[in-house]
């Protein structure tokens, strides 16, 4: 898709030769799209952050602009909006969706006046959102309190990260669908804390093999 979009841009700018332009023009026709507005009930704002690549979408919606109101996970199937709830917390946003329509995301709340951040990964299961388990005390050094979901595979495994309260110590993890209640540290991933590498969740869907999008630096 990136190459197709680049072809569209180059044709528009007249930067390709005649032969290249003809090929890119065909590609340009393939990459055209038509925006469609999605309703979100009486919510004052909403956003799509994930798709099942089959016409379904997911993201979040804000019911009102009143002080203290929080975002709620949301989905759109056939253009119909559904409120998925908050995973039992003060607010939730979907960050990934697989081809089966299963979603994963992160519940996030900041305790007013304290600076304490509550952040917990969740996934959909049995028609509701459930919080994903945190690594056992022996799996990580002290100070880890936060988790976030970045992707979900076709088989339902969730890929994400855990971190300390101050945001440091970013470590990649996997929540295997076949082993509910367990979490595996991906110590070989760039986010394992070794060297200068860091992996930032992007909300991309993961492949069946567990390969997810991310930003390394």
Per-residue pLDDT of 118-131, as tens digits, reads: 899 999 988 899 99
Which is more confidently placed, 129 or 13?
129
Angstrom distance (rounded) from CA 57 to CA 5: 21
User: What average pLDDT is seen over the chain?
Assistant: 77
Does pTM surpass 0.75?
Answer: no
Angstrom distance (rounded) from CA 185 to CA 188: 9
Is the per-residue pLDDT at 77 higher than 70?
yes
- The pLDDT, as a whole number, for residue 68 is 64
Per-residue pLDDT, averaged over 86-114, amounts to 87
At residue 23 the predicted structure's pLDDT band, cuts being 50, 70 and 90, is low
Which is more confidently placed, 53 or 126?
53
Sheet containing strand 158-164, edge to edge, reads 144-152, 158-164, 171-175, 184-185
Angstrom distance (rounded) from CA 73 to CA 93: 5
- The pLDDT, as a whole number, for residue 88 is 78
Residue 169 neighbours by CB distance under 10 Å: 18
Per-residue pLDDT of 168-215, as tens digits, reads: 999 999 999 999 999 999 987 665 443 233 334 444 444 444 444 433
DSSP-assigned letter for residue 132: P
Which is more confidently placed, 175 or 109?
175
Is the per-residue pLDDT at 106 higher than 70?
yes
Contacts 24+ apart (CB under 8 A), 25-30: 27/3, 28/4, 30/4
**Which of 15-29, 43-57, 143-157 has the weakest average pLDDT?**
15-29
- The pLDDT, as a whole number, for residue 156 is 96
What does the block give as tokens for 138? 């022996």
């Amino acid at each position: 898709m990136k190459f197709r979009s680049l072809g569209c841009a180059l044709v528009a700018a007249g930067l390709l030769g005649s032969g290249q332009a003809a090929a890119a023009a065909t590609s340009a026709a393939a990459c055209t799209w038509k925006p469609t507005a999605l309703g979100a009930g009486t919510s004052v704002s909403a956003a799509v952050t994930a798709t099942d690549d089959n016409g379904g979408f997911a993201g979040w919606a804000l019911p009102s602009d009143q002080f203290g109101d929080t975002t709620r996970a949301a989905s759109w199937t056939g253009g119909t909006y559904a409120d998925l709830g908050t995973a039992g917390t003060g607010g939730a946003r979907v960050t990934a969706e697989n081809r089966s329509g299963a979603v994963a995301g992160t519940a996030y709340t900041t305790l007013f006046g304290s600076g304490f951040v509550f952040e917990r990964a969740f996934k959909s299961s049995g028609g509701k959102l459930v919080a994903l388990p945190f690594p056992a005390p022996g799996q990580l050094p002290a100070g880890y309190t936060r988790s976030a979901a970045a992707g979900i595979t076709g088989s339902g495994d969730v890929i994400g990260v855990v971190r300390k309260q101050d945001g440091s110590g970013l470590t990649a993890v996997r929540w295997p669908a076949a082993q509910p209640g367990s979490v595996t540290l991906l110590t070989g991933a760039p986010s394992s804390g070794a060297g200068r590498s860091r992996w930032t969740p992007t909300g991309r869907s993961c492949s069946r093999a567990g390969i997810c999008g991310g930003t390394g630096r």
